[in-house]
């Protein structure tokens, strides 16, 4: 069984993945800003506060995780968010900075600190949680989509840069998943968040957790580069089949 570090583990895809991989028997190190939630998510896992935008927090978390569970075999970069639907013309820019610092800089802060030990051992795996928003943009989502497109480039470059070191790099890119994602995007407006899924069946966090479990279960010579996971009712960010009542 592997030592798996998972960021953003307190809700949604992160929480579902923590539960699934813990049930698979892996040694889990979970990080989140809402650390109090982690006991309920996976009570037997190592749990620690983590803010991926704060480099000191990242260093403290990774040191504690390694002390608790040993060298890191798998890093799952799950922490991320969308905030608002403002257009470029009507934006204040505050939400832009939050998304860039979390979705891009946060991934870089964590990954660069985990990679050296993987290179030294000649094995390891990095799983990025991307989005179909990185494949196709939409109005009101320019910066969020841009962060996920940038994550694609980072993932591809990381694959090139670690080639020959026995490190696997995968991007799992979901479509619509019924989690707290829309609640966060709409700043706590639960009614508006729920309307995103009107008339269609979205994915659940557990669906993505199953995919991640499959990805890390492959033998060392198998690398799944990019996996796009969509609801049957969705073909693109804007093409969604909705049933009328």
Catalytic residue IDs = 144
C-alpha–C-alpha distance, residues 231 and 215, integer Å = 19
> Which ranges constitute the DSSP H helices of 48-186?
55-69, 94-100, 106-121, 142-161, 181-185
Instruction: Please count the other Cβ atoms lying within 10 Å of the Cβ belonging to residue 34.
Output: 11
Instruction: Count, in order, helices (H) and strands (E) of the chain.
Output: 9, 7
Which phi-psi region, left, alpha or beta, contains residue 207 (left: φ > 0; alpha: ψ -120 to 50)? alpha
Instruction: Please count the other Cβ atoms lying within 10 Å of the Cβ belonging to residue 111.
Output: 19
List the one residue out of 63, 80, 111 whose CA is nearest residue 8: 80
C-alpha–C-alpha distance, residues 130 and 70, integer Å = 27
Instruction: Please count the other Cβ atoms lying within 10 Å of the Cβ belonging to residue 221.
Output: 7
- Lookup result for tokens 């910066």: 143
């Amino acid at each position: 069984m592997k030592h798996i570090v998972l960021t953003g583990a307190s809700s949604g895809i992160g929480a579902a993945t923590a539960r699934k991989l813990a049930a698979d028997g892996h040694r889990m190190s979970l990080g989140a800003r809402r650390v109090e939630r982690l006991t309920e998510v996976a009570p037997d896992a190592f749990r620690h506060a983590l803010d991926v935008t704060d480099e000191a927090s990242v260093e403290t978390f990774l040191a504690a995780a390694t002390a608790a569970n040993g060298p890191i075999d798998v890093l799952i970069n799950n922490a991320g968010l969308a905030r608002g639907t403002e257009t470029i013309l009507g934006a204040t820019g505050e939400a832009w900075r939050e998304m860039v610092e979390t979705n891009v800089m946060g991934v870089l802060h964590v990954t660069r600190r985990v990679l050296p030990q993987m290179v030294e051992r000649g094995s390891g795996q990095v799983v990025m949680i991307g989005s179909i928003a990185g494949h196709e943009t939409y109005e009101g989502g320019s910066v969020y989509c841009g962060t996920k497109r940038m994550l694609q480039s980072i993932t591809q470059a990381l694959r090139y840069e670690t080639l020959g070191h026995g490190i696997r790099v995968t991007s799992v890119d979901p479509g619509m998943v019924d989690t707290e994602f829309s609640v966060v995007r709409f700043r706590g407006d639960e009614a508006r968040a729920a309307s995103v899924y009107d008339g269609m069946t979205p994915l659940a966090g557990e669906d993505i957790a199953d995919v991640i479990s499959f990805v890390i279960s492959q033998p060392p010579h198998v690398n799944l580069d990019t996996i796009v996971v969509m609801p049957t009712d969705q073909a693109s960010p804007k093409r969604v089949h909705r049933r009328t009542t």
